Amino acid sequence: MKGFNVEEIRKDFPTLMQKVNGKPLVYLDNAATTHKPISVLNAMQDYYEKFNANPNRGAHFLGVSATELYENARERVRQFINAKSAREIIFTRNATESLNLIAYSYGMKFIDEGDEIVVLISEHHSNIVPWQKIAHMKKAILKYIYLNHEYRLDMEEVQTKITDRTKIVSLAQMSNVLGTIFPVKEIAEYAHSKGAIAIVDGAQSVPHMKVDVQDLNTDFLVFSGHKMLGPMGIGVLYGKKELLEKMPPFLMGGDMIEYVEEQTTTFAELPRKFEAGTPNVEGAVGLKAAIDYIEEIGFENINEQEMELTAYALERLREMPHVKIYGPIDLKDRGGVITFSLEGCHPHDVSTIVDTCGVALRAGHHCAQPLMKYLKAPATSRISFYFYNTKEEVDIFIDSLKRVRKWLGYES
């Protein structure tokens, strides 16, 4: 891999250098959140040391600088996902808030009784619950596309579920449970052919692969900064300008207005119409530094490292008796998330026992209860990689997993 040295890269991440329970930390919970390189931490500290001010108001030096930094970050995000205009980039708190913004603003205005909203059964709760709410309020129908036995999509099922009554198709590009990467470009195209809009939840894909909104021709894309080396509290909503312009504001207050009279208000132009109140400048600055870091490493290297680890971990897990993997086994269109169960062991016991070996993994329903029910999986454990993970860490994880059944009193 060109210029890729994982041991050097790891030195940029202070959190990864720690010991946990007396053992070197093996952090395999990157789908939940990633760690932050020093450059991101420094960028935020620098902002507070030199520029801290409330942007978009006042003409003093610090205020102008804060506005510039905030808008530079927006432009950086625009380039990163290849949006046509920086006005199409709205900063939010996270992917969840971005999805709520679309649901409350677009959904409340454009969904009517009997309309259909279509999602995948594998969605994260943040791409289900807002739609349930809109469906209840508008007497619309929330429909699910189910997966095949390989945890992938059949286009036939897609074409059965998306109909002329469908107004919104909203799906994650990569499942946070199964690791499946779904063909969002084809699905967006099919949604459009039926007159529906397409929303892509990029929370798990944007950190790991090049996502180009013009190539996907998606109407909206959402993602969170904290899953891609950035800080918590900053997220992105991309929307096509023509749609964002037709949508009413979601939150009301300062910064999102043009004129306020006693009884009426006119709203600011995009993107400010959707950014009420003092924005998260620190978060935007951190997100920009995170994008700089990711692009410096390069998606080719990121993908290569993650796929090598995924292939190796799948192989090692499959050698183990009592392990069941939920997700595609072959590497095509799959990312570095592996969910599994260990027969006879509650996932909370699994995570507590591996934690004694320094291994951090996720246990539970992964905020995807409808999927768990569909898979008839009581609860599972999950490992998820980022490019800073190593093969040695996979070995430590496997060794720690081998202890679990013994600790719980099984003979093998």
Q: Give the residue numbers annotated as catalytic, written as ranges.
A: 367
Among residues 220, 192, 188, 196, the alpha carbon closest in space to that of 141 is found at: 196
Distance CA 366, CA 382 (A): 8
Residues sharing a CB contact under 8 Å with residue 154, sequence separation 6 or more, in sequence order: 148
Burial group, residue 318, by CB count within 10 angstroms (0-12, 13-18, 19+): exposed
* Strands (DSSP E) found in 263-402: 265-267, 323-326, 337-342, 359-360, 362-364, 380-384
User: According to CB under 6 A, which one of 88, 115, 116, 201 is a site residue for ligand 7TS?
Assistant: 201
Distance CA 52, CA 48 (A): 5
Q: Count of residues binding ligand 7TS (CB under 6 A)? A: 17
Contact letters (x/-) for ligand 7TS, 138-177, by CB under 6 A?
----------------------------------x---x-
Is residue 122 involved in binding ligand 7TS (CB under 6 A)?
no
User: According to CB under 6 A, which one of 9, 16, 95, 357 is a site residue for ligand 7TS?
Assistant: 95
User: According to CB under 6 A, which one of 30, 34, 67, 94 is a site residue for ligand 7TS?
Assistant: 94
CB of 96 to ligand 7TS, least distance (A): 3
Burial group, residue 312, by CB count within 10 angstroms (0-12, 13-18, 19+): middle
Contact letters (x/-) for ligand 7TS, 12-31, by CB under 6 A?
-------------------x
| CA 238 and chain centroid, separation | 13
CB of 128 to ligand 7TS, least distance (A): 10
Alpha-carbon distances, residue 58 vs 132, 299, 380 (angstroms)? 42, 40, 52
Is residue 341 involved in binding ligand 7TS (CB under 6 A)?
no
CB of 79 to ligand 7TS, least distance (A): 22
CB of 172 to ligand 7TS, least distance (A): 4
3-state secondary structure of 258: strand
Contact letters (x/-) for ligand 7TS, 219-258, by CB under 6 A?
-----x----------------------------------
Is residue 101 involved in binding ligand 7TS (CB under 6 A)?
no
Is residue 92 involved in binding ligand 7TS (CB under 6 A)?
no
> Omega of the bond prior to 231 within 30 degrees of 0, cis?
no
* Strands (DSSP E) found in 124-253: 141-145, 166-172, 197-201, 220-224, 235-239
For ligand 7TS, which is the closer residue by CB, 66 or 325?
325
Window 367 to 386, contacts with ligand 7TS (CB under 6 A):
367
Tokens (6 digits) for 383: 């490992």
- What's the longest Cα–Cα distance across the chain? 75
For ligand 7TS, which is the closer residue by CB, 176 or 400?
176
Contact letters (x/-) for ligand 7TS, 270-309, by CB under 6 A?
----------------------------------------
CB of 208 to ligand 7TS, least distance (A): 12
Q: What is the CA radius of gyration of the chain?
A: 22
Interface with ligand 7TS by CB under 6 A: which residues? 31-32, 94-96, 124, 126-127, 172, 176, 201, 203-204, 224, 362, 366-367
